[in-house]
Amino acid sequence: MAKEKRISLKDVANSVGVSPTLVSIVLNGKAKQYRIANEMAEKVIKTAMEMNYSPNLIARNLRGGKTQLIGLIVTDISNPFYSAIARIVENRANELGYTVVFSSSDEDLGNTKKLIDVLLSKGVDGLIIVPCDGSEDIIKNLHDSNTPLVLIDRNFPDLDVSFSCLNNYKATELTTKHLIEQGYENIALVGYKTGMNHILDRIKGYEDTMNAAGLGKYIQEKKVNLLNTKVEMSSVLDVLVNKKKVEAIIFLTNMLAVTGLYCLKEMNVRIPEDVAVVGFNRNDVFNLFSPTITYIRQPLELIGAQAVNILVDKINHGELEIKAMTYSEPQLVVGASSLRRINN
């Protein structure tokens, strides 16, 4: 069976008996502007509909230099947090007439560089990136080359690059205050080794709140390596729970919280009797765990949609100079894992 030829603009033009130019003008809604006769315009539109014409975007884009393609680089699309973001980005992008090309950097600098090159060579009109540790220079170069670009989830405060992310400071401030209100004092934090701003902000939110409450002496921060999280997490939690006798643990990411819960379960640590726990980002695990886990909820809809909006603005209006900075507000979803400590 032969591949059916798609109806082209020329086909419609021939059918009506006019030039392709006229058809193009009419179908782009510029009939008035070009003083095309009303009758003629209607006839063209009718014929195009009848012939089931749809424009070849590739041809259109070749002329216009645009692909209506947005590149999305996350660290790992199979991470539910990022796939949730991907879905929101997809939806908003579709609404605005764009399609999303995605790639996973695996938190790797070399990959990031390669993926950016590949996506640019595919002709994406702009990029939404979750930048990985150490990618500041790459991002700066990309921005300097005037590629429409928005960072999401993480950002580099020193760069003039637009971003859409959580108010991370407030997230741990909320969390820490909540735990303190619940009667906890010896509150520890588990993050991972990175110089990335989003994590540093979360750490600062915790530290400031602890200090403000006069609990500075209890500040304890453990950092695990992202590569063999499971093993390191075990020893970190062993130290915190068994040696340091902490009363509560704040996990700085969803993955850390899930891994932490695995380990705590294996260690037969009771939550919150032995230690209270707060996680990060929604996860079915938190709701189905016994007890349910308290966590910070990010307004993903907002964060994702904003990123697309900013990017498309840049693509369309070339407002590349303006640095759009959007910090969305976290919410604390309280479960049973951070219940009030019984005064003893």
- Can you give the binding site for its own copies, defined by CB under 8 A? 1-4, 54-59, 61-62, 67-69, 76-80, 82-84, 86-87, 90-91, 94, 99-104, 117-123, 144-146, 258, 261-262, 265, 283-285, 287-290
Q: How many CB atoms lie within 10 A of CB 76?
A: 15
29 binds DNA (CB under 7 A): no
Terminal alpha carbon distance of the chain: 81
**Residues 125, 66 contacting (CB under 8 angstroms):** yes
Residue 65 or 195: which CB sits closer to its own copies? 65
65 binds DNA (CB under 7 A): yes
Residue from 29, 49, 56, 216 that binds DNA (CB under 7 A)?
Answer: 56
Determine how β-strand 220-224 pairs with β-strand 99-104: unpaired
55 binds DNA (CB under 7 A): yes
Residue 287, contacted partner among DNA, its own copies, none, CB below 5-8 A by kind: its own copies
Residue 282's nearest CA partner among 269, 293, 274 is 293
**Residues 341, 247 contacting (CB under 8 angstroms):** yes
Residue from 14, 29, 37, 329 that binds DNA (CB under 7 A)?
Answer: 37
21 binds DNA (CB under 7 A): yes
- Measure the CA–CA gap between 239 and 340, rounded to whole angstroms: 23
**Residues 232, 192 contacting (CB under 8 angstroms):** no
- Report the nearest approach of its own copies to the CB of residue 283 (Å): 7
What single letter denotes the amino acid at residue 106? D
Beta bridge partners of residue 192, listed in sequence order: 224
- Which tokens go with 13? 């033009």
- Measure the CA–CA gap between 18 and 31, rounded to whole angstroms: 14
Residue 8 or 167: which CB sits closer to DNA? 8
Residue 102 or 192: which CB sits closer to its own copies? 102
- Report the nearest approach of DNA to the CB of residue 316 (Å): 13
Residue 235, contacted partner among DNA, its own copies, none, CB below 5-8 A by kind: none
- Interface with DNA by CB under 7 A: which residues? 5-10, 17-22, 24-25, 27-28, 34-37, 40, 53, 55-56, 59-60, 62-65
